[in-house]
């Protein structure tokens, strides 16, 4: 029965070699199997046509190939595509394809639900159900790349771990998925085309530095003082601004990679020049760029979009201090595919009145 079988996509190529040795098969077959699993995205062992029938039968008896399944797909008026994927009979994750003039970006999930409960994020209102496997993460990329080719005639140019879940709380599987995406035996994507976004877990940011990762790191900051950040991000109570500053300096010293600060700007909360001044001061700690992100409401009415004039003044203040600033306008809002909206319509939203008090 399948319940006794191991998921073969959880094995490294060396572990596949060990299995082949144990059944007296040539170890060079491991590269072929790995390519079928990742480059060719095989769903069955029967598809592995350059393997002998006997080996395919042995693989079928010992392993299963787990895959996510498309449950629903929506296309926005701005051409953004949101996909809901079933990862088992009851659990759903979402991934988004974001086409622009200069990029074709896949925004992918790392967990089913999330445990961090950030006030501005629909996913954060869900309970944390489980981590995704590396295969389930990579599957999203493969499917969204296929949609990019089908609808827009282009390959993916960028991958961002900014969907459902906190990637650093699924550290092992997140890291393995990036290794598969960047491996020549996998999808061969440049690590500089991949960005992992975190709400800010200091010790794991340092671990990324120790592991000398080559992908880009983004920090969801949204406020550069502890009082405000505590109100919208509970994680800040145990990972405050100073500890994040220290971890980012450590990460930069280890990797030499510039950090991206993500700053969702909210009306009458973090949109004043004083907020910009605090952000500019914090941003001095490492070479960085700053993405100011338009807020996407999630039905509770507590946080609201900042006025465009304030957004422009905020950005100008930062630019005048020689910081690299991009103002990101929302994509896919009409299908709840924009930043912070994933799972918005499928799950209960709890109102939190503490934020603006």
Which residue of the set 94, 136, 262, 294 is catalytic?
94
Return the closest-CA partner of residue 37 out of 77, 66, 60: 66
Q: Which residues contact residue 292 at a Cβ distance below 8 angstroms, ignoring those fewer than 6 apart?
A: 263, 265, 311, 314, 315, 325, 326, 327, 328
Cα separation of the two ends of the chain = 56
Helix (H) or strand (E) holding 261: strand 259-265
Is 272 annotated in the active site?
A: no
Which residue of the set 107, 118, 121, 339 is catalytic?
339
Phi, psi of 70 (to 5 degrees): -65, 130
Phi, psi of 256 (to 5 degrees): 70, 15
Q: Could you tell me the CA-to-CA distances from 18 to 13, 172, 173 in Å, in that order? A: 9, 21, 21
- CB 171 within 8 Å of CB 207: yes
Phi, psi of 314 (to 5 degrees): -60, -50
Is 94 annotated in the active site?
A: yes
Active site residues: 94, 339
């Amino acid at each position: 029965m399948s319940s006794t079988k191991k998921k073969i996509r959880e094995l490294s190529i060396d572990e596949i070699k060990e299995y082949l040795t144990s059944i007296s098969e040539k170890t060079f077959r491991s590269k072929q199997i790995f390519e079928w699993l990742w480059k060719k995205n095989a769903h069955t062992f029967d598809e592995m046509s350059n393997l002998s029938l006997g080996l395919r039968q042995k693989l079928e008896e010992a392993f299963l190939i787990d895959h996510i399944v498309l449950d629903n797909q929506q296309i926005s008026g701005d051409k953004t595509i949101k996909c809901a994927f079933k990862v088992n009979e009851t659990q759903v994750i979402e991934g988004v394809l974001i086409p622009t003039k200069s990029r074709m970006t896949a925004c992918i999930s790392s967990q089913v639900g999330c445990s961090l409960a950030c006030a501005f994020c629909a996913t954060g209102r869900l309970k944390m159900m489980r981590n995704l496997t590396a295969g389930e993460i990579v599957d999203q990329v493969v499917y969204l790349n296929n949609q990019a080719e089908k609808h827009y005639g282009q390959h993916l140019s960028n991958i961002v771990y900014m969907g459902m879940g906190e990637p650093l709380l699924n550290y092992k599987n997140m890291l393995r998925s990036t290794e598969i995406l960047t491996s020549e035996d996998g999808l061969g994507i440049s690590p500089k085309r991949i960005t992992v976004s975190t709400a800010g877990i200091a010790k794991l940011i340092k671990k990324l530095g120790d592991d000398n990762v080559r992908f880009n790191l983004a920090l969801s900051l949204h406020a550069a003082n502890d009082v405000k950040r505590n109100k919208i991000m509970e994680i800040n109570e145990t990972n405050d601004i100073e500890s994040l500053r220290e971890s980012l300096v450590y990460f930069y010293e280890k990797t030499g990679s510039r950090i991206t600060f993500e700053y969702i700007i909210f009306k009458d909360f973090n949109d004043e020049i004083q907020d910009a001044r605090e952000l500019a001061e914090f941003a001095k700690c490492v070479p960085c760029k700053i993405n100011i992100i338009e807020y996407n409401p999630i039905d509770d009415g507590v946080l609201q979009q900042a006025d465009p004039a304030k957004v422009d003044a905020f950005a100008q203040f930062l630019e005048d201090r020689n910081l690299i600033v991009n103002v990101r306008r929302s994509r896919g809002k009409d299908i709840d595919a924009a930043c912070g909206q994933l799972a918005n319509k499928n799950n209960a939203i709890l109102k939190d009145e503490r934020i603006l008090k």
